[in-house]
Structure 1
Amino acid sequence: MPKLTGAGCSAAIALALLCGCTDVPAGTQPEAAKTKDSGTAEQASADNGLFIYTVWPAFYAKEDIFEKQIGSWIRKKFPDIKVKHVHWDNPGRQYKDLIAAGTIPDIIMDNTRMNAYRYLIANDLQYDISPLVKKYNFDTGTLNPAYMAQLRSISPEGQLYGLPFTNSDFVLFYNKDIFDKFGVDYPKNGMTYDEFYELAKKLTRVEGEITYKGYSQNPGHYLNYNQLSLSPLSQEEDKANMRDPGWTKAVDNLRRFYEIPANQFDTVEKFPEGNIAMAVATVDRIATFHEQNKNLNFDIVSVPSFADAPNTSYQPNLYSMFIAKQSAKKDLAFQVMASLLSEEHQTELSREGVIGPLQSRTVQEAFGQNLPQMRGRNTGAVFASRNAMPPAARAEGLLWYDVPLHNVFAPLIFKESKDSVTAVRMIEEQSTKAIQEMKAASK
């Protein structure tokens, strides 16, 4: 466990809200939501005040969820601290609003891949916590290495601007009744895409008016968090770069599933309706799928992997904690962050179905224990694969652009029947044009 010297709402609802969060297209912000502050502005500015600003996860818009997962823990371990919590809202509680009002948070929680560069760094809020890591003897080696690599990829110099908090990871759901109906053996952890493709062909059938789809997966998520560690942006220039043959490999790999007759793409949200045999979705769906159909006979296994990259899951879908450069309470903020990553607290969160960064058997074995929806499920699938490493940091000063990778499949492949090479090239060209327009506008 990390070493530090010195000093709700039901979990099912929290997981359901997380589900909604993960399906928001990359590049958008959480829906506006009114929150009740856990303190006052005066308390936040006092010597014993700590101002925490949450953007993602979106479910922290619900104050009771923030209180259950974060607020109550801080008060228990740091009884003298007065916590003020504000969640992102539009209008009035965006980064620009807090900055304009001179109310800079001490701790910021946000999506690492999506927002750290374009909001944290763009607003000059980033702060290298490496000296604090050393000062408080915090062992980052106990944390998921892919999470840490994603945090370090924010800075071309490898500076560490924050610590990972939670990850919205993926698993493969399968409908046992469909497997039983067609006499097909259940999938297992560690299977490849080729093996799942063969299962999908066996399980995709039309019987009268009922179509059974063998496999479903969100193409945007599949490409954004791809298992081949590919970046759609150039590492050295302000442009998109999808010339790596891995992009075509990844697109062709998923495309074949949707070229199985009768297995045309359908949203994974329809899995609870009972006609989809297998669907890749975020872990929180264990709770929401059960709530939507309590008679659904399903279980989970680890996501498919490429044969030449076995047991490799997706790049982190990571939410991290950052200390603002302008904070006058950096030491206190770091101690709070370190405490939130203690084995004790991470075990508490794991029992509620939250995936944290601490690589501890105790934490992993506790996963979902407090949630009746997860009893009897193969929760070991959540940790059966390692996360793919994210791309390396880009050169300093480059613009960040959220390449619309979901458009590779829809509309270019699904509606316009483009070949994979053409679809990838078109997205690259469209994105480069958009980046150049952004660059021109910024001048």
Structure 2
Amino acid sequence: MGRPLGRILALTLTIVLTAGCTEVPVGDAKPGGTGEQSPSRQSADNELLIYTVWPAYYVKEEIFQKQIGDYIRKKFPDITVKHIAWDNPGRQYKDLIAAGTIPDIIMDDTRMNVQRYIIDNDLHYDMTELIKKYNFDTSKFNPAHMAQMRNLTPDGKLYGLPFYNNDYVLFYNKDIFDKFGVDYPRDGMTYDEIYELAKRLTRVEGEITYKGFSQHPGHYLNFNQLSLSPLSRTEDKADLSAPGWKLLVDNMRRFYEIPANQFDTVETFASKPSLAMAVASVSDHVVKFHEANKSLNYDFVSVPSFPDAPGIKYQPNVYSMYITKQSTKKDLAFQVIAALLSEEHQIELAKEGVIGPLETEAIKSAFGQNLPQLQGKNIQSVFYGNNAMPPPARQEGLVWYDAILQNIFQPLIFSESKDSVTALRMTEEKTTKEIEQKKADKALSD
């Protein structure tokens, strides 16, 4: 998750919830796993407890209320919304579980956390019957988003619904392009075309090194556009043997082999305005880059694609909503989720720069309207092309492990100058050993 796990600091946890800004005791920690909440911990029939892990900015209560809480109260005036945001220490899954306080709705990162936190803690619940009961049409959603949800398990059960996709675009510094007389990039360009631009824009002038292109190796490989998984579908091991992995690695490493274009984090796009192009996430950077450097003259286009898969961008980086098995208010929870996924609400979220699973023309037109930093920018590039489909589900019962794919480049390629095949093999072997260790640790804890 990018945030370290902490210790449970006390047996009694007190968490500030959003019902009138009151403090509600979570309860005394006790063993017992994730079974049904005891009667003493049951909330009123009109109360919903929502636990947000991702998007991370919901730790700021005012953002949660603006994007979620206020709308629920508007559509369901009789509901009391209580909110817990993931925090370290004291508000992690293990803390809530130990206290016997199980949320009705969880919002979390689908790829990273569903298996290791929701399924492994027996919090998962198949929403299929509720979808049928309320005649909720999932076919209107981005198909790659829905595939991400269904590919969590081989039986295709639907443990959640997509809420927000932190997608990627290619940012570019107009001043650098103007300085060197190079045409701006445009939507739909391939990596080959962007590579040619990067070569033209990478140069040293006096004390300034202009770098043509940067892209985060881990994000590029984790959400790769070839729909590859680093894990075996049938065994508890890594598998980076498919030819597409070498294609991916070779494609990126050529950019960093351009003389003077050594790797530099995409975060320097604003802080060191000598980086011409950088692939970065929309929600984390469209405002951040502006705030870091208000004089930065930039715009963005779609991420480059492979010639054999034109217009295919990253796999979804989806944060989704889940109803817990332990919730006694599943119908109410589903109706709230359905309302949050309505076009009406998705339009309001789009105005705040949130990319949801609905991509109607009204939503596209509304995107970024409330963000002055986006005025005059190429907004429609956010919706250009199609997300790559996530890889198929793995066999049931296999250990999920987040392979540290950025290690292929750092240290193996950037620091140790390994060839692509060797870097892939070493990463595969290291990941397999880590999976074996994880299995052994789990066997001991069981």
Structure 1 unaligned blocks of 5 or more: 1-23
Counterpart of 1:304? 304
Question: 1:301 aligns to what SS in structure 2?
Answer: strand
Q: Measure, in 2, the Cα distance between the counterparts of 1:243 and 1:319.
A: 29
Q: Measure, in 2, the Cα distance between the counterparts of 1:61 and 1:225.
A: 25
Q: Does 1:136 align with 2:119?
A: no
Question: 1:164 aligns to what SS in structure 2?
Answer: strand
Tell me the CA shift for residue 266 of structure 1: 0.4
Tell me the CA shift for residue 442 of structure 1: 1.7
Distance 1:28 1:145, change over 3 A: farther
Deviations 1:401-420 (A, max 9, x none): 11000100000000000000
The residue identity in structure 1 corresponding to 2:105 is I
Distance 1:29 1:141, change over 3 A: farther
Instruction: Report percent identity of matched pairs.
Output: 68
Aligned counterpart in structure 1 of residue 16 of structure 2, from 36, 42, 58: 36
Q: Measure, in 1, the Cα distance between the counterparts of 2:103 and 2:84.
A: 9
Counterpart of 2:335? 335
Counterpart of 1:201? 199
Q: Measure, in 2, the Cα distance between the counterparts of 1:44 and 1:412.
A: 52
Question: How do 1:225-240 and structure 2 match up within 5 A?
Answer: 225-240=223-238
Counterpart of 1:277? 276
Q: Does 1:212 align with 2:210?
A: yes
The residue identity in structure 2 corresponding to 1:135 is K
Deviations 1:132-177 (A, max 9, x none): 1011011001111101000111121000001000011100000111
The residue identity in structure 1 corresponding to 2:377 is R
Counterpart of 1:8? none
Aligned counterpart in structure 2 of residue 252 of structure 1, from 250, 253, 257: 250
Distance 1:368 1:421, change over 3 A: same
Question: What is the TM-score of this pair, normalised by structure 2?
Answer: 0.91
Aligned counterpart in structure 2 of residue 86 of structure 1, from 84, 87, 92: 84
The residue identity in structure 2 corresponding to 1:397 is G
- Deviating beyond 2 angstroms after TM superposition, the runs of 4 or more aligned structure 1 residues are 27-30, 39-44
Deviations 1:344-401 (A, max 9, x none): 1000000111111112110111100111100000010000021000011110000011
Tell me the CA shift for residue 43 of structure 1: 10
Q: Does 1:318 align with 2:311?
A: no
The residue identity in structure 1 corresponding to 2:224 is N
For these two proteins, the number of residue pairs brought into alignment is 417
Q: Measure, in 1, the Cα distance between the counterparts of 2:295 and 2:88.
A: 39
Counterpart of 1:60? 58
The residue identity in structure 2 corresponding to 1:132 is L
Contact 2:5 2:89 (C-alpha < 8 Å) held by counterparts = no
Tell me the CA shift for residue 91 of structure 1: 2.3
Q: Which moved more, 1:139-148 or 1:43-52?
A: 43-52
Question: How do 1:172-187 and structure 2 match up within 5 A?
Answer: 172-187=170-185
Aligned counterpart in structure 2 of residue 77 of structure 1, from 51, 71, 75: 75
Counterpart of 1:406? 406
Question: 2:319 aligns to what SS in structure 1?
Answer: strand
Counterpart of 2:43? 45
Question: How do 1:103-114 and structure 2 match up within 5 A?
Answer: 103-114=101-112
Counterpart of 1:417? 417
Q: Measure, in 2, the Cα distance between the counterparts of 1:147 and 1:440.
A: 33
Counterpart of 2:147? 149
Contact 2:41 2:101 (C-alpha < 8 Å) held by counterparts = no
Q: Measure, in 2, the Cα distance between the counterparts of 1:205 and 1:113.
A: 38
Question: 2:286 aligns to what SS in structure 1?
Answer: helix
Q: Measure, in 2, the Cα distance between the counterparts of 1:283 and 1:346.
A: 17
Question: How do 1:322-401 and structure 2 match up within 5 A?
Answer: 322-401=322-401
Contact 2:315 2:388 (C-alpha < 8 Å) held by counterparts = yes
Contact 1:203 1:277 (C-alpha < 8 Å) held by counterparts = yes
Tell me the CA shift for residue 36 of structure 1: 3.5
Q: Measure, in 2, the Cα distance between the counterparts of 1:355 and 1:280.
A: 17
Question: 1:394 aligns to what SS in structure 2?
Answer: coil
Counterpart of 1:20? none
Q: Measure, in 2, the Cα distance between the counterparts of 1:179 and 1:90.
A: 43
Counterpart of 1:17? none
Deviations 1:90-118 (A, max 9, x none): 22211122112111110000000000011
Q: Which moved more, 1:330-339 or 1:285-294?
A: 285-294
Contact 1:35 1:87 (C-alpha < 8 Å) held by counterparts = no
Q: Measure, in 2, the Cα distance between the counterparts of 1:44 and 1:203.
A: 62
Q: Measure, in 1, the Cα distance between the counterparts of 2:431 and 2:358.
A: 36
The residue identity in structure 2 corresponding to 1:408 is I
Counterpart of 2:11? none
Contact 1:146 1:387 (C-alpha < 8 Å) held by counterparts = yes
Deviations 1:195-229 (A, max 9, x none): 00000000001001110000011111101110000
Q: Measure, in 2, the Cα distance between the counterparts of 1:197 and 1:222.
A: 15
Tell me the CA shift for residue 180 of structure 1: 0.7
The residue identity in structure 1 corresponding to 2:356 is G
Question: 1:353 aligns to what SS in structure 2?
Answer: coil
Counterpart of 1:4? none
Contact 1:313 1:386 (C-alpha < 8 Å) held by counterparts = yes
Question: 2:16 aligns to what SS in structure 1?
Answer: coil
Question: 1:171 aligns to what SS in structure 2?
Answer: strand
Question: 1:128 aligns to what SS in structure 2?
Answer: coil
Contact 1:107 1:324 (C-alpha < 8 Å) held by counterparts = yes
Question: What is the TM-score of this pair, normalised by structure 1?
Answer: 0.92
Question: 1:280 aligns to what SS in structure 2?
Answer: strand
Contact 1:161 1:323 (C-alpha < 8 Å) held by counterparts = yes
Contact 1:125 1:325 (C-alpha < 8 Å) held by counterparts = yes
Tell me the CA shift for residue 44 of structure 1: 7.0
The residue identity in structure 2 corresponding to 1:301 is V
The residue identity in structure 1 corresponding to 2:159 is Y
